[in-house]
Structure 1
Amino acid sequence: MSLKNILVHLDSGPLCADRLSLAIALAEQHGARLIGLFGQLAQAQMIGMVASWPSPAYVEAAEQSRQKFEAACSGHLRSYSWRDANRGSALEVSRALIEAAHHVDLVLLSQDDEAAAQVVPRDLPEQVVLNAGRPGLIIPYAYKNTSLGQRPLIAWNGSRESVRAVNDALPLMQGCSSARILCFAKPSPELEQSVGDLCAHLADHGVTAEPDYIQAEGIGIMDMLLNQAADLSADLLVMGASGNTGFANFKRHGGTRHILRHMTVPVLMSH
């Protein structure tokens, strides 16, 4: 399996260059077409009592984004294109990314960061993942690598969301040295059967995986998941994103948001 097209969010923030570098590396690895969508918070220009859009500042920022994108892609990719959301409100920027994501295999976004808060809508990764119907690869703000998926950690409970996440992540896990499946439940015949079937499914795709069973509740699940990712030196966390993040007794969106706030490795989320 391989990715055929990838969408990367572009803006004027400090995280954009690293996000774009990873997107280019993935597109080059998979021979995929890369679409860069520029979208950021911006105000219209006020001329007296009349609002004029786009403002000169926005036009300049968009043009700089286009030039940087094309310069970065040139020499690495055969197929790439730059687009402008041409809107400045948080709702409009989020909607532009969600709509563009409908027609790609993967969307790259960055973790929320205070340094980029003036140009990036708050909770943008969460909004895109929960509403686009496509997998999102969210990059931690301190992540500098241009490779991932060699040591994936899979959060599994057999839910629709976790099933989608695993299958959406298969192109990123190809050729990995080993994968770890983490189940936050006491082993039972039903769960062990589910995990066994998952291991066989992954093996059919060339991915060797081993399961671990850990008992935890509430927010402890999310913290333990992050701790396990760190302890195992995982370079990719694969998990479902849903109303309760696939885990019982957890408030709506709380688990997804907690991971997005505290993640230290790239996270592949599907809803």
Structure 2
Amino acid sequence: MTYKTILGVLDNRKTAAQVTEFSVALAEQFSSHVIGVHCEAVAGLPLIAPMEIPDPVAVQAMQDIAHKESGVIEAIFAEASRREGVSSEWRNFVTSAGVVGSFTDSVRCADLVVVAQGESGSMSDNRTELEAALFESGRPVLLVPYILKAPRPIKRVLIAWNGSREVARATFDALPFLKQAESVEIFSVVDGEDADLSRSLPGAEIAATLSRHGVNVTVTRQDQAQLKAAAHIENRLSDQSIDLLVMGAYSHKRWWEVLFGGVTRTILDSMTALTLLSR
């Protein structure tokens, strides 16, 4: 298994260069074809009072602004792809009603989707619909945090393991990264008062499976104590200088809201490492 089709979601000019650089770097790493995707969303129609009819001048102005930004983003993607010599293509979807089915179709046909970390508390309607489409795509999503401005080798990986279907899928979706990493840690946060868990080592069986793939894997268990699971994971990311976090995304309307059981979007709001999510 490897990533042969990588799709980068370039939803705005602010993060276009960042997502492009990471997508192209991964395409080089895995000898992949990279697709740049932008959804050119037109805002709701401005109305002329008192008759409340669409203002054609304002509509055209908004369309021109959106089209100009699409052109800038496409140029950023084209230049990076040309510079690095990777196989690439550009897709621009224009819609006045949010993310359309063709965008979801493109996502579902990719091995890996790369997208920038969303801005908490300032989600546009287009970004909200875009993330909802990603959630429903069934494909692994690699989130790039604000603080990572340039790609770097993925040497240390942390799998936030709780034995669920979602994290099991994320683990196997991340296998190309795991096989190339120097070290992979299966990290579980458990309730120390649970007698069954206190006698077991969560993650031992998945570690054995990964080792058969040639993954250099270790297993760590952390008693929850007074801290929430999110805090334990954040501490582990920092203490071990983790390059990639692998997690399961749970079945909620907005996939960034509740992850890893009791782990909230706190982790995504304070991301320090690339994060791969699957559901």
Question: How big is each residue's C-alpha offset from its partner over 1:87-132, in whole Å with a ceiling of 9 and x where there is no partner?
Answer: 255xx2386543321110111111113798569624854x345311
Cα deviation for residue 46 of structure 1 reads 5.7
TM-score by length of 2: 0.82
Partner of 1:28: 28
Partner of 1:37: 37
Instruction: Confirm whether residue 58 of structure 1 aligns to residue 66 of structure 2.
Output: yes
Number of residue-to-residue matches in the alignment:
261
Task: Determine the C-alpha separation between the residues in 2 that align with 1:64 and 1:116.
Answer: 23
SS of the counterpart of 2:203?
helix
Structure 1 pair 172/43, CA: closer, same or farther in 2 (3 Å)? same
Q: Percent same amino acid among aligned pairs?
A: 28
Partner of 1:146: 151
Task: Determine the C-alpha separation between the residues in 2 that align with 1:215 and 1:15.
Answer: 38
Kindly indicate whether the alpha-carbon contact (under 8 Å) linking 2:247 and 2:277 is maintained by their aligned counterparts in 1: yes
Task: Determine the C-alpha separation between the residues in 1 that align with 2:199 and 2:85.
Answer: 46
SS of the counterpart of 2:84?
coil
Cα deviation for residue 191 of structure 1 reads 4.8
5 Å matches for 1:83-232? Answer: 83-89=91-97, 92-93=98-99, 97-113=103-119, 121-122=127-128, 124-125=130-131, 127-185=132-190, 186=192, 188=197, 191-192=200-201, 195-216=203-224, 220-232=228-240
Task: Determine the C-alpha separation between the residues in 1 that align with 2:113 and 2:225.
Answer: 30
RMSD value, Cα: 3.0
Task: Determine the C-alpha separation between the residues in 2 that align with 1:63 and 1:150.
Answer: 35
Q: Which amino acid aligns with 1:233?
A: S
Instruction: Confirm whether residue 16 of structure 1 aligns to residue 21 of structure 2.
Output: no
Q: 2:76 aligns with which of 68, 92, 100?
A: 68
Kindly indicate whether the alpha-carbon contact (under 8 Å) linking 2:24 and 2:86 is maintained by their aligned counterparts in 1: no
More strand by percentage:
2
Q: Which amino acid aligns with 1:230?
A: S
Q: Which stretches in structure 1 are left out of the alignment for 5+ residues?
A: none
Task: Determine the C-alpha separation between the residues in 2 that align with 1:116 and 1:266.
Answer: 21
Kindly indicate whether the alpha-carbon contact (under 8 Å) linking 1:148 and 1:172 is maintained by their aligned counterparts in 2: no
Kindly indicate whether the alpha-carbon contact (under 8 Å) linking 2:40 and 2:67 is maintained by their aligned counterparts in 1: no
TM-score by length of 1: 0.84
Cα deviation for residue 256 of structure 1 reads 5.2
SS of the counterpart of 2:35?
strand
Structure 1 pair 189/231, CA: closer, same or farther in 2 (3 Å)? closer
Structure 1 pair 149/124, CA: closer, same or farther in 2 (3 Å)? farther
Cα deviation for residue 265 of structure 1 reads 1.0
Kindly indicate whether the alpha-carbon contact (under 8 Å) linking 1:38 and 1:83 is maintained by their aligned counterparts in 2: yes
Kindly indicate whether the alpha-carbon contact (under 8 Å) linking 2:99 and 2:133 is maintained by their aligned counterparts in 1: no
Question: How big is each residue's C-alpha offset from its partner over 1:20-54, in whole Å with a ceiling of 9 and x where there is no partner?
Answer: 10110001111111111112554267697345578
Kindly indicate whether the alpha-carbon contact (under 8 Å) linking 1:162 and 1:240 is maintained by their aligned counterparts in 2: yes
Q: Which amino acid aligns with 1:170?
A: L
Task: Determine the C-alpha separation between the residues in 2 that align with 1:81 and 1:101.
Answer: 14
Task: Determine the C-alpha separation between the residues in 1 that align with 2:158 and 2:184.
Answer: 6
Determine which structure has more spread, i.e. the larger CA radius of gyration: 2
